[in-house]
Structure 1
Amino acid sequence: MATGEYNRDQRYISTRIAADGPYPVEAGRYRLVVSRACPWANRAIIVRRLLGLEDVLSMGVAGPTHDERSWTFDLDPGGRDPVLGIERLQEAFLKRFPDYDKGITVPAIVDVPSGAVVTNDFAQITLDLSLEWAAFHRPGAPLLYPPELRAEIDEVNAVVFADVNNGVYRAGFASSQEAYEKAYHRLFDRLDWLSARLADRRYLVGDTITEADVRLFTTLARFDAVYHGHFKCNRSKLTEMPVLWAYARDLFQTPGFGDTIDFVQIKQHYYQVHRTINPSGIIPAGPDLSGWLTPHGRESLGGRPFGDGTPPVRAV
């Protein structure tokens, strides 16, 4: 019997770029394809910038809207990615798997010489940028996945993914009242848990920014602009949850985070692509986003954003 619950297709291409695999880590060989609208891709944009991988891993940016076939490069001249020479990300997937029948998703890493996709496993991509690409990190790059904290980071990431990152989608795409309310309560129960956890600590795990903060931030950044209204996650706005709002502003104002956010493209994507939820395609004019740059006061909790490292300095 159908329950109306939304179940994300998590059949990703699990190939990894690693020192001992068929796709070894090499400077200049690969292209990270993202969309600034997508929270999963936004993670990879942030991690690439924090680690200073811009010169060794190029980045192609797809437009904020797409059809059922694929993300497209309509932001580029002629509608083609200037490095890969393709109009649709789908072309890179079909280059490797001619019968590919799963989702064409971002982030994806493409092998430039062959033009074939390597992986779209978004969770593993950011971990591998920290671990497998370490030889190419900038001087002063932060440790986003330190060995002594990995078990705790993994534990936090698991519940945040299930209840928050994917939880907003479970609420937004639910097709029954029961499924929606179940997802709604699960989401806000977890946000309350996160508020309590962050009330007396600056970051989710340890006293520096880690992979856990990156993963939560990209959902919080989209909360009021999209999820509150579009996905009916409307018990509270982010701006009405004092601890999480201050935490999100703290990260937003940290180099590598807010400078990767494009609220215009975020709203264009959700409100124009999800026509089953928003048939008119009308993009809301609000909310007022000026508050993201207001003082957050989280410095009083201590913590060092980059640990013994330094912030990134180059523009995205």
Structure 2
Amino acid sequence: MKLAREIADDGRFVRQSNRFTDRLPSGPPEPGRYRLYASYACPWAQRVLIVRELLGLRDLLDVTIVDPIRDEKGWRVPGGDPEYLSELYLATDPDYTGRYTVPCVWDNRDQRIVTNDFPQITLDLEMSWGTTPDLYPEALRPEIDALNERLYHGLNNAVYEAGFARSQEAYEEAVTRVFATLDHLEERLTGREFLFDALTDSDVRLYTTLARFDAVYYGHFKCSVRRLTDYPALWAYARRLYAIPAFRDTTDFDQIKRHYYVTQTNINPSRIVPVGPELDWSA
């Protein structure tokens, strides 16, 4: 199986760069032209699914949900057209040798992958395809960009750096960043409904990590200093977002747990999926 990760000499996890980085067109496209390939298990893909729902883009961006359990060929596409996501990558670039990742956007007209650049996809949708709610308001963009950068390096990707680390030093450095960021967010969200005055792209990016934290990252990735439920403001915030249909309807805890525990055999060779934790997200 191709891996979207590699380990540096000091044991640090290094994420694969995104290969296809063309921008989505400015302005809503004709219906049926673009298709999003995504997974409910993947936090990067769930971001796009949430934004697609929030902005009401179902008619402009078709979606295919891949199987949560990858095999040696990568993500399998239910229905068999194509059978595997890899076929789209190789149709776009026959010399492609990296991991076949979600999310990615396929152009039905030009028969190619436009982008698998997950940080940019949501921004393109927010700036060009949908305007209500305004998830990326122009006046706040510098602040949103700065916070998104902090979220990525301190939490979204840092949990992977902790989980895939191959040295004690690399693991401890990453897990320290994770909980320093969570501590900061707990303080920021105390007495606030969202990260800014209204729902933004930053809330979407934070939520998908929080949704997986106690179920996967706490145990599987050894981010076990504290649980999400040990943070009163963060836990209440995560449940407020979960109450919004776009967040709740794209959150599938069964697929999340089966993907991580069954697929990542380098961490969990037994492929046993744990029972629990029992969390009432609807409380």
User: TM-score range, shorter-chain basis?
Assistant: over 0.9
Stretches of structure 2 that go unaligned for 5 or more consecutive residues are 1-7
Q: 1:4-23, aligned counterparts within 5 Å?
A: 4-19=11-26
Cα-to-partner distance string for 1:86-116 (whole Å, 9 max, x where unaligned): 0111111111101012221101000123432
CA distance in 2, matches of 1:268, 1:275: 12
| 3-state SS, counterpart of residue 249 of structure 1 | helix
The aligned amino acid for 2:186 is: S
- The runs of at least 4 consecutive aligned structure 1 residues that moved more than 3 Å come to none
CA distance in 2, matches of 1:96, 1:276: 30
Return the TM-score normalized by structure 2. Answer: 0.94
Partner of 2:281: 292
Query: For the Cα contact (< 8 Å) 1:11–1:102, is it kept in 2?
Result: no
More moved, 112-121 vs 53-62: 112-121
The aligned amino acid for 2:96 is: Y
Match of 1:55 among 50, 55, 59: 59
Pair 1:133-2:129 in alignment: yes
Indicate the RMSD between aligned Cα atoms, in angstroms: 1.5
The aligned amino acid for 2:59 is: D
Return the TM-score normalized by structure 1. Answer: 0.84
CA distance in 2, matches of 1:15, 1:194: 32
Partner of 1:219: 209
The aligned amino acid for 1:15 is: D
Pair 1:154-2:158 in alignment: no
TM-superposed deviation, 1:68: 4.2
The aligned amino acid for 1:164 is: L
**Which structure has the bigger radius of gyration?**
1
TM-superposed deviation, 1:7: 1.0
Number of paired residues?
276
Match of 2:46 among 42, 46, 59: 42
CA distance in 2, matches of 1:7, 1:212: 23
CA distance in 2, matches of 1:45, 1:19: 19
Partner of 1:238: 228
CA distance in 2, matches of 1:69, 1:146: 40
The aligned amino acid for 1:66 is: R
Cα-to-partner distance string for 1:246-278 (whole Å, 9 max, x where unaligned): 110110112211121000000010001100100
Query: For the Cα contact (< 8 Å) 1:34–1:62, is it kept in 2?
Result: yes
Q: 1:98-247, aligned counterparts within 5 Å?
A: 98-134=94-130, 141-205=132-196, 207-247=197-237
Over the matched positions of the two proteins, sequence identity in percent amounts to: 51
Partner of 1:26: 30
Partner of 2:5: none
TM-superposed deviation, 1:55: 1.2
Stretches of structure 1 that go unaligned for 5 or more consecutive residues are 295-316
CA distance in 1, matches of 2:178, 2:73: 30
The aligned amino acid for 1:233 is: C
CA distance in 2, matches of 1:68, 1:6: 21
Query: For the Cα contact (< 8 Å) 2:154–2:181, is it kept in 1?
Result: yes
CA distance in 2, matches of 1:91, 1:195: 43
